[in-house]
Amino acid sequence: MERDKNRVGYCTLIIAASGWIIIGAAITYLELKRNAEINPLAARVNFLLKEVEGLRAEIENIRNNTESRLDQFEKRSYEAAVPQYDDGFEGDYDDEYDEDIAEEEAGAAKGGAGAGGAAGRRRRRSSSASYKQTSAGKDDLRGKRNVFGTSPIIANSPNAIMKQTWTKPGNRTKGVEAEIVLESVLPQEQPPQEVWTQPTANTCCNTIAAHFGGDIATVSHVKTTHYQGNHRVYQNGVIGEWEPADWMKDLDMTSKFYLDSSRNGVSIKEESQGLYFVYAQVFYADQHDTAGFGIYINHENVFQCTVTSLHQAETHRHKTKSNSCYTGGLVRLTRGDKVTLREIEGTRSTVMHAPKSFLGMYRVHA
């Protein structure tokens, strides 16, 4: 029995050791496989980094070349725009002449005793160089001057300060120094100015619109028994009695729409078809609590409006209630489509007065 237990223990130990060996081998295999996959990627990344460094160096080189060429271009533009000229004075002023003048004045004060010596010194200095010649390549502002007075680029340039000395060759007085504010030398590029043009206000030729107001001028007891006076008409299902606005006749818009003989519906002509915004308002003066209408395109109700007026007491049930109802929206109209307003809450009394009840439309896209 004890031998069997030992045998089971040995088997368990062998199985555990085998399991650890298998796990270790699997981990080693996965590590090797990962390294085999990572190494090419690392090499690729290093190659791309080197490429980026090379491109960065090329960009830096291009930028340096561009700046150098811009400097050369600005220098050439300056030399072309501001010509140099020589005023004939190429030497430095000799301060010894001032000493001669001072000695002359002192000699004259003493009775002319020292006049001969001063005159001799002047002759000796005159026989030598009266002016000290400077090298040809030296940029001496006292010897040469820039001409800015007639330059066309002065007005738009920043200020520059130049110090100059003016002295005539035959004048023995000391040159006068002055600081002149010169308006600059390099041409300045002006940004292009945006020109805004106001759109033309008269766009009637591309606009198609219509507006019809309620008209009571033709409504009378002779024509209909539904007229109640004071602009009120008891409509029989279809709201009508429309009249075109005056501006439609002035702009020839009446030729683009057709108002039927009963003056209840508006039809679209072929050249007027397109996407329209259609709107309408009806003013009700009726005893009912609710009233409303729909905008119909042919026989389809596309937009509608409803108003409600609640009575506060039983005695007010039959009191006339006044309300206006407005609606509108976008709809496509084609040739022959007829636009009408129809009651949707039953027949009601409406006020057919142009400011209160109207029907209109305008085309927003052909």
Residue 156 has pLDDT above 50, yes or no: no
User: 168 and 252 share a domain?
Assistant: no
Do 340 and 296 form a contact (C-beta atoms < 8 A)?
yes
* pLDDT number for residue 160: 47
Query: Is there a domain that residue 174 lies in?
Result: yes
Residue 83 has pLDDT above 50, yes or no: yes
Query: Is there a domain that residue 130 lies in?
Result: yes
Per-residue pLDDT tens digits for 97-107: 555 555 665 66
User: 245 and 303 share a domain?
Assistant: yes
Domain boundary among 183, 218, 251: 183
Q: Average pLDDT for residues 157-163, to the nearest whole number? A: 47
**Out of 94-98, 215-219, 232-236, 308-312, least confident range:** 94-98
* pLDDT number for residue 201: 45
User: 54 and 125 share a domain?
Assistant: no
H-helix segments, the chain? 2-81, 96-109, 115-127, 246-250
User: 217 and 322 share a domain?
Assistant: yes
Domain boundary among 39, 54, 81: 81
User: 217 and 308 share a domain?
Assistant: yes
Q: Average pLDDT for residues 140-145, to the nearest whole number? A: 45
Other CB atoms within 10 A of residue 287 CB: 14
**Out of 16-25, 145-154, 336-345, 348-357, least confident range:** 145-154
Do 83 and 147 form a contact (C-beta atoms < 8 A)?
yes
Nearest to 257 by CA among 361, 186, 112, 127: 361
Nearest to 143 by CA among 164, 171, 169, 173: 164
User: 101 and 69 share a domain?
Assistant: no
Residue 182 has pLDDT above 60, yes or no: no
* pLDDT number for residue 152: 46
User: 91 and 221 share a domain?
Assistant: no
The count of domains in the chain is 3
Q: b/e per residue, 72-88, with b = 16+ CB within 10 A? A: eeeeeeeeeebeeeeee
User: 290 and 175 share a domain?
Assistant: no
User: 47 and 97 share a domain?
Assistant: no
Question: Which pairing describes strands 338-343 and 227-229: parallel, antiparallel, or unpaired?
Answer: unpaired
Query: Is there a domain that residue 18 lies in?
Result: no
Q: Give me the domain span that covers residue 54.
A: 25-81
Query: Is there a domain that residue 223 lies in?
Result: yes
Do 334 and 295 form a contact (C-beta atoms < 8 A)?
no
* pLDDT number for residue 222: 42
Query: Is there a domain that residue 195 lies in?
Result: no
Do 305 and 264 form a contact (C-beta atoms < 8 A)?
no
Residue 166 has pLDDT above 80, yes or no: no
Residue 21 has pLDDT above 50, yes or no: yes
105-119, 127-141, 196-210, 309-323 — most confident range: 309-323
pLDDT band per the 50, 70, 90 thresholds, residue 159: very low
Query: Is there a domain that residue 142 lies in?
Result: yes
Domain boundary among 81, 104, 121: 81
Query: Is there a domain that residue 4 lies in?
Result: no
CB neighbour class for 268 (10 Å; exposed up to 12, middle 13-18, buried from 19): buried
User: 104 and 120 share a domain?
Assistant: yes
Residue 130 has pLDDT above 90, yes or no: no
Work out the percent of the chain whose per-residue pLDDT is above 70. Answer: 58
Query: Is there a domain that residue 351 lies in?
Result: yes
* pLDDT number for residue 221: 44
- The whole-angstrom separation of Cα 280 and Cα 359 is 4
Q: Average pLDDT for residues 114-128, to the nearest whole number? A: 53
Residue 11 has pLDDT above 90, yes or no: no
* pLDDT number for residue 48: 93
User: 218 and 349 share a domain?
Assistant: yes
pTM above 0.85, yes or no: no
User: 232 and 167 share a domain?
Assistant: no
Identify the CATH number of the domain in which residue 256 sits. Answer: 2.60.120.40
Q: Which residues have CB under 8 Å from 266's CB, separation 6+?
A: 210, 212, 242, 257, 258, 259, 260, 338, 339, 340, 359, 361
Per-residue pLDDT tens digits for 187-230: 556 666 766 665 554 444 578 999 999 887 655 444 554 555 56
The mean pLDDT value of the chain amounts to: 74
